[in-house]
Amino acid sequence: MYSFKNDYSEGAHPRILNALIASNNEQVDGYGEDIFTQRAVKLLKQKIGGNIEIYLLAGGTQTNLTAISAFLRPYEAAIAVTSGHIVTHETGAIEATGHKIITIEGVDGKLTPDLIQPVLETHQDEHMVKPKLVYISNSTEVGSIYNKGEIEQLSRFCKENNLFLFMDGARLGSALCSAENDLIFSDLRTLVDAFYIGGTKNGALIGEALVICHDSLKEDFRYHMKQKGALLAKGRLLGIQFLELFRDNLYFELAKHANQMAGLLRGEISKAGLEFLTHSPTNQLFPILPNRVVNELQQNYAFYIWEKVDNDNSAIRIVTSWATKEEAVLAFIKDMIKALDKCK
C-alpha cells in the first residue's frame, strides 16, 4: 500500500536527521535561545530581507492559533475562505481562543477584495464582531496559488481598510516552486503582515517559521508563544532543521520534487481524458474518477476521497511529497489506466 494521502507521511530528509545526530550531544540554551535557532533566524532574515521578526513553532495549527490570537483583540475576528485550514481542519482552535471566523465562499480556494467587501459592509458597529484579519493559504487547501497581482490587490485592500493580512504557508514551498508562481520571499515581507514557512510538509520532522512583518504585531510575541505551549524547551530541534533546509537550496529542491511528481501525475491523468475538481499547479491534485476506478485503486494506494461529484464519480485528493518515488507514481498511473480500461 503506497500512500498519496499527504506530504508528511515520511519522516524527514536524511540531511536533517544527520544534522540532528551530529549536534545531539552539544549543550545549548533552551526555548529558542540556542545557537542553531539564532543562526537559522539570521539566515532566514538574510534571505527574506526587511525589518522582520522570525519565530519557530512546531506545527501549523499551533502557529495559526498562536499568531491569530496574538494579533487580534478579544472582540476582533478573522476572515477566511470556507475551505481554509483554520475553518475545516483545526477543531475550532481559533474559536477556542475567543475569536470568531467569518467565512466566505471563495473562488478556486482564494479570497479577493470583492468577496471581502460585503463582510465589512455588514459588520459596521459594536453589536457585531469587528473584522480585523484576513487569513489566506498559499498554496490553498485545494492546491491553487495566489499570484503576485492577487496578493498585491489583497494587500492594498487590507491596508485601505485597516486589516491585517496573514498567510498560512504550510505548503509555501510548493507554491513558490510552482511553474505558475511569480512571487519571491522578498515580495511577501512587503505584501503581508505575517506569514509562515512550512517545514513539516516539506522535509522537516516538525516545524514552521513564522515571519512577522508588521511592527505592531511583534511586541511580546514570545509571551504569547509560551502561553500557548509553543515555546519548546528543546527549541534546538526546530533551529537545526531550518538551518539545514535553508543553508543552501534544499528547501526548494524538495518542494520542486513534490511538484514534479504531481506534474507527472497531472499530465498522465489529463491524457487519459479525466477532469480535475480544481486547477492545482502544486503538489495536491483532485482528479475526478469513476467510483469503480477509485475502489480498485484503493486496493494498492491510500488517498482521500475528497468530494462526491455524482452517483458514478468522485474527486479524490492525491498529494505528492519531497520523498515521493517516481516508480510509485508510474505504478499508480499504470494501474489507473488499467482500471479505466475495465470500465469501458
Q: pLDDT tens across 41-50, in order?
A: 999 999 999 9
Asked whether the beta carbons of 169 and 197 are under 8 A apart, the reply is yes
Q: pLDDT tens across 114-132, in order?
A: 999 999 999 999 999 999 9
* Helical packing angle, 14-22 and 236-246, nearest 10°: 130
| CA dist., res. 199 & res. 45, Å (int) | 16
User: Which residues have C-beta within 8 Å of that of residue 248, sequence separation ≥ 6?
Assistant: none
Going from the N-terminus, what domains does the chain have, and what CATH number goes with each? 2-6+250-343 (3.90.1150.10), 14-246 (3.40.640.10)
Q: pLDDT grade, residue 51 (50/70/90)?
A: very high
Mean pLDDT, the chain, rounded, equals: 97
pLDDT score of 342 more than 90: no
Q: pLDDT tens across 4-44, in order?
A: 999 999 999 999 999 999 999 999 999 999 999 999 999 99
The residue-averaged pLDDT of 159-183 equals 98
Asked whether the beta carbons of 10 and 257 are under 8 A apart, the reply is no
pLDDT score of 344 more than 80: no
**Which string of b and e fits 215-240 if b means at least 16 CB within 10 Å?**
eebeeebeebbeebebbbeebbbbbb
Q: pLDDT tens across 278-319, in order?
A: 999 999 999 999 999 999 999 999 999 999 999 999 999 999
pLDDT score of 197 more than 80: yes
Beta partners for residue 81, in sequence order:
104
Residue 343 pLDDT:
80
Nearest to 110 by CA among 77, 73, 76, 138: 138
Could you give the maximum distance between any two Cα atoms of the chain, in Å?
Answer: 64
The residue-averaged pLDDT of 317-334 equals 98
Nearest to 65 by CA among 208, 205, 203, 162: 208
Q: Which of helix, strand or coil describes residue 302?
A: strand
For the chain, the C-alpha Rg in angstroms (whole number) is 21
Give the cell for residue 199: 517545514
Q: pTM of this prediction?
A: 0.96
Q: pLDDT tens across 90-116, in order?
A: 999 999 999 999 999 999 999 999 999
Q: pLDDT tens across 223-242, in order?
A: 999 999 999 999 999 999 99
| CA dist., res. 120 & res. 140, Å (int) | 23
| CA dist., res. 298 & res. 318, Å (int) | 12
